[in-house]
Chain A
Amino acid sequence: KAGVTQTPRYLIKTRGQQVTLSCSPISGHRSVSWYQQTPGQGLQFLFEYFSETQRNKGNFPGRFSGRQFSNSRSEMNVSTLELGDSALYLCASSFRGGRGRPDTQYFGPGTRLTVL
């Protein structure tokens, strides 16, 4: 079974631009969560999507948004990029996601975003 894939793996943008990152979950997984990892803040939860609906959201500004498609693939978008948005963005998929009994999350390799 193929793992979680993320594209692109590396991205360089300038302040003020916007960016879209993509995540393809493991086949059969309906939950996709997104995380931001920075040296200063560590790993932080961005949001979770399940069956095309955002089910939970972390403490990030509205510039961070996402969506999920009917095939469970997910995208996250960051508008009006700031220098502080430079980070490793990870997505993770699971079968059930947050509701009910939690299950193992499978992480993708991440997209490293650099904002200049």
Chain B
Amino acid sequence: KNEVEQSPQNLTAQEGEFITINCSYSVGISALHWLQQHPGGGIVSLFMLSSGKKKHGRLIATINIQEKHSSLHITASHPRDSAVYICAVFGNEKLTFGTGTRLTIIP
């Protein structure tokens, strides 16, 4: 069993829909990151959180430390949100990554 599990692996939605990507982890962590990777490889850090909730524009990230679970929400999704979203947990002084969720938003 992977230390970091993401679901779903693939998600296709219509423009404007509300998107939720989930991440569960089994190890002790000090922080959790949500990353976005576009075709071509570049990775952008969206959020780093260790408790509660953070919001940036149409993106919201939440974490429940007791349940070892985090969610990334996208409101009013847009085709430019199409990318791979990766959950990564920081524990033992290193990042461990989930396998990613490939999101496709159809106009």
CA distance A101 to B31 in the complex (A): 9
Residues of A contacting B88 in the complex (Cβ-Cβ under 8 angstroms):
43
Interface size class on chain B is 20 to 34
Closest to B99 in A: A42
Interface contacts (Cβ under 8 Å), in number, total 56
CA distance A25 to B31 in the complex (A): 22
Q: With A98-B93, A105-B95 known to touch, is A42 a contact of B100 (CB < 8 Å)?
A: yes
Residues of A contacting B92 in the complex (Cβ-Cβ under 8 angstroms):
56
User: Secondary structure at chain B's binding surface: helix, strand, loop or mixed?
Assistant: strand
A37 to chain B, nearest CB (A): 8
Say yes or no: is B44 at the interface (Cβ < 8 Å to chain A). yes
- The answer to whether B93 touches A43, judged by C-beta atoms less than 8 angstroms apart, is no
| A contact residues, total (Cβ < 8 Å) | 26
Chain B positions within 8 Å of A, measured between CB atoms, are 30-31, 33, 35, 40-45, 48, 86, 88, 90, 92-100
Q: Enumerate 22 A-B pairs (CB-CB under 8 Å) in ascending A order.
A: A33-B95, A42-B98, A45-B96, A48-B94, A56-B92, A56-B94, A90-B41, A90-B43, A92-B43, A98-B90, A98-B93, A99-B93, A102-B30, A102-B48, A103-B48, A104-B33, A104-B45, A105-B33, A105-B95, A107-B44, A109-B42, A112-B41
Chain A positions within 8 Å of B, measured between CB atoms, are 33, 35, 37, 42-45, 48, 55-56, 58, 88, 90, 92, 98-99, 101-107, 109-110, 112
